């Protein structure tokens, strides 16, 4: 501590006075010098901790927003409301962005690219009405189209689920229902009994929960890595005589807005573009999941028939349970 703060002056003085390592220091001047050095070190450490807390406060404020939305998806109480808010927020941002440039054709293409439905606003309305009137019409149209999509999904899936539930040979508790938008696919875990009793309404809830959770987790992890890189780069603002904390707050807020916009876009795009590729009950197998796998989604997986797996499990169940030592003895005997 003395060498780092007070340089070599006190250390050379102690050598001249004949002090050895481990010896008690009793000289008043040296004691005061050490006290001043210790005070500077503690002040420096306090400043470092204070800076870290200021950085953490920025991340905690963003984390509270994301975790609240993720908690709503897990519990399922406000999930539908959050999805409708995503529709309204994204459609308003889309209108606001294109109204500044007065480019109707680009707005129409972006709307079709996101929602996969025709735009209800004409060119004359786009150039004449204000943004609140346009957004009200657009939000109502999107909500009605989404209701039609969910009704179609329930109408396609419920007859298959009903035949599976009423079939006495099937003792499935959870099933995997595949959804695909043409680029990626997702297996949604659903409870067969709940889906049957709610006439397919549980399918929509599980589908919405899976896409919201997977999208939030994906982009939140990427956002945390970007914040770490931003914290390192913000330190260079000192050379420009700027406050690194202020630069970090401004840039992190921009990154957070971009992340929310990306999350809304991915959720909306998959909800409106996804389809059910399998409609044959004979090709639907049981979802054997653990508590860690509930809510998790896979990419590029299509639900297949599990008859081979069931037959293999039945054959294995007929054999007695062997210990590890007994299995090794049996393997050695078969090799001989």
Q: Which residues of 61-94 are buried (b: 16+ CB within 10 A; e: fewer)?
A: ebeeebeebbebbeeeeebeebbeebbbebbbeb
pLDDT for the residue numbered 321 = 60
79-305 has which CATH code?
A: 1.10.3060.10
Residue 291 predicted with pLDDT over 60: no
CB-side exposure of 251: number of CA atoms within 13 Å?
19
Least confident of 45-54, 94-103, 284-293: 284-293
The pLDDT-based confidence of 293 (bands split at 50, 70, 90) is: very low
pLDDT for the residue numbered 175 = 86
pLDDT for the residue numbered 269 = 93
* Nearest C-alpha neighbor of 110 from the set 127, 95, 120, 88: 95
Q: Taking all residues of the chain, what is their mean pLDDT, rounded to a whole number?
A: 79
pLDDT for the residue numbered 88 = 92
* Nearest C-alpha neighbor of 223 from the set 94, 69, 90, 62: 62
pLDDT for the residue numbered 5 = 52
What backbone torsions phi and psi does residue 318 show, to the nearest 5 degrees? -70, -20
User: In this structure, are residues 203 and 154 in contact, taking their beta carbons and an 8 Å threshold?
Assistant: yes
Q: Quick one: average pLDDT of 177-205? A: 88
Q: Is the pTM of this model over 0.75?
A: no
The share of the chain scoring above pLDDT 90, in percent, equals 33
* Nearest C-alpha neighbor of 280 from the set 311, 304, 309, 308: 304
Which comes out higher in pLDDT, residue 41 or 248?
248
CA distance linking residue 331 with residue 54, whole number of Å: 62
pLDDT for the residue numbered 129 = 74
Within 8 A by CB and 6+ apart from 175, the residues are 161, 164, 189, 190, 192, 195, 284, 285, 286, 287
User: In this structure, are residues 253 and 107 in contact, taking their beta carbons and an 8 Å threshold?
Assistant: no
What backbone torsions phi and psi does residue 19 show, to the nearest 5 degrees? -75, 140
Containing 174, the helix (H) or strand (E) segment is strand 174-180
Which residues are paired to 187 by β-bridges? Answer: 178
């Amino acid at each position: 501590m003395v060498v780092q703060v007070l340089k070599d002056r006190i250390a050379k003085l102690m050598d001249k006075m004949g002090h050895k390592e481990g010896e008690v220091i009793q000289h008043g001047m040296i004691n005061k010098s050490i006290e001043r050095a210790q005070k500077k070190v503690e002040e420096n450490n306090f400043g470092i901790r204070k800076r870290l807390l200021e950085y953490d406060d920025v991340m905690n404020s963003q984390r509270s927003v994301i975790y609240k939305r993720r908690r709503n998806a897990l519990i399922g109480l406000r999930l539908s409301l959050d999805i409708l808010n995503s529709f309204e927020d994204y459609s308003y941002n889309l209108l606001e962005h294109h109204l500044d440039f007065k480019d109707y054709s680009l707005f129409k293409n972006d709307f079709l690219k996101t929602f996969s439905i025709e735009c209800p606003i004409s060119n004359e309305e786009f150039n004449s009405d204000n943004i609140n009137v346009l957004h009200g019409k657009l939000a109502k149209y999107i909500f009605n189209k989404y209701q039609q999509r969910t009704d179609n999904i329930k109408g396609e899936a419920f007859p298959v689920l009903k035949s599976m539930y009423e079939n006495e040979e099937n003792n499935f508790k959870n099933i995997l229902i595949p959804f695909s938008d043409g680029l990626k696919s997702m297996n949604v875990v659903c409870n067969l009994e709940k889906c049957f009793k709610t006439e397919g309404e549980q399918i929509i809830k599980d589908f919405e929960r899976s896409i919201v959770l997977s999208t939030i987790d994906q982009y939140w992890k990427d956002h945390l890595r970007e914040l770490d890189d931003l914290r390192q780069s913000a330190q260079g603002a000192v050379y420009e005589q700027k406050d690194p904390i202020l630069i970090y707050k401004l840039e992190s807020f921009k990154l957070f807005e971009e992340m929310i916009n990306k999350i809304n876009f991915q959720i909306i795009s998959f909800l409106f573009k996804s389809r059910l590729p399998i409609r044959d009950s004979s090709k639907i197998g049981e979802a054997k999941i653990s508590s860690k796998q509930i809510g998790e989604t896979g990419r590029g997986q299509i639900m297949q028939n599990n008859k081979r797996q069931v037959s293999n499990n039945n054959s294995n169940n007929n054999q007695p349970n062997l210990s590890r030592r007994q299995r090794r003895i049996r393997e050695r005997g078969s090799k001989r």
